[in-house]
């Protein structure tokens, strides 16, 4: 048998289940009948497309033009070995032994380890690429956050302040005179006046009723802290001040 290990008879790699060319096997076995006629006859032994072989047109896959685009098939090793055995010829036995030797070499511990290391290298390379991509995306998000954070803080503060009201506004919403409302809070120990006369909430009576905010008056250039009442505080004091 000449040049048994050459040409395109067998192509083993980690990506294919069908490494044997049907036409190459037909040629190497020295079959005299037409290839497609022979393969149709062999399929009568129970071989199934997509399970034991795949049909394809070489010229279409290679992009070649001109000439006859002959139908070929990718065969599994198991099918190829069975076809060799079915021929009951010396050439068939030689080709079958060759296929077995190649398969054994392919499945040897050294080759399995080599393929595993190759896959591991590819996986590591892919993961490194994904990490770099994520790092780049994270860096971009960090920059965007740094750019947007002051705006977000500003709008959060704006929304927050729109929900908060001072003592005068709260008293007006509750339908109570401001002095009576403040006296009520002082009497019931919700607030007190500090040394500078500012109304401040007692820490143990706060419970989310008040919020202390830094305040700046751009007209007078005055800055300081101001005690404001939260929505929870307004509802609480609405219930407590009924009848005032």
CA dist 170 → 57, 112, 202 (Å): 83, 78, 18
State what percent of residues in the chain have pLDDT above 90. 18
Element (H, E) at 178: helix 178-187
Separation of first and last alpha carbons in the chain: 113
Element (H, E) at 217: strand 210-217
The 10s digit of each residue's pLDDT in 193-228 is 998 888 999 988 778 888 888 776 666 666 778 888
CA 104 to mean position of chain CA atoms = 39
pLDDT at 222: 62
CA dist., res. 146 & res. 138, Å (int): 12
Domain ranges of the chain: 20-107, 164-240
Residue 128 has pLDDT above 60, yes or no: yes
The closest alpha carbon to 20, from 50, 52, 63, belongs to 52
């Amino acid at each position: 048998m000449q040049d048994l290990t050459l040409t395109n008879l067998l192509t083993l790699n980690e990506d294919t289940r069908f490494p044997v060319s049907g036409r190459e096997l037909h040629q190497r076995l020295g079959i005299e009948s037409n290839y497609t006629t022979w393969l149709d006859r062999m399929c009568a032994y129970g071989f199934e497309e997509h399970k034991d072989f795949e049909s394809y047109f070489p010229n279409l896959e290679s992009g070649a033009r001109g000439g006859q685009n002959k139908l070929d098939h990718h065969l599994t090793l198991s099918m190829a070995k069975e076809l060799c055995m079915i021929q009951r010829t010396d050439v068939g036995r030689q080709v079958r032994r060759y296929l077995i030797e190649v398969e054994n070499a392919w499945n040897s511990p050294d080759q399995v380890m080599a393929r595993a290391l190759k896959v591991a290298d590819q996986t590591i390379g892919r993961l490194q690429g994904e990490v770099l991509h994520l790092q780049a995306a994270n860096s971009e998000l960090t920059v965007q956050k740094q750019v947007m954070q002051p705006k977000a803080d500003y709008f959060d503060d704006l929304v927050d302040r729109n929900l908060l009201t001072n003592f005068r506004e709260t008293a007006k919403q509750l339908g109570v005179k401001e002095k009576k409302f403040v006296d009520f809070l002082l009497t019931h120990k919700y607030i007190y006046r500090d040394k500078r006369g500012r109304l401040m909430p007692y820490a143990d009576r706060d419970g989310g009723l008040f919020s202390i905010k830094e305040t700046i008056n751009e007209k007078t250039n005055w800055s300081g802290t101001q005690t404001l009442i939260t929505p929870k505080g307004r509802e609480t004091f609405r219930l407590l001040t009924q009848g005032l």
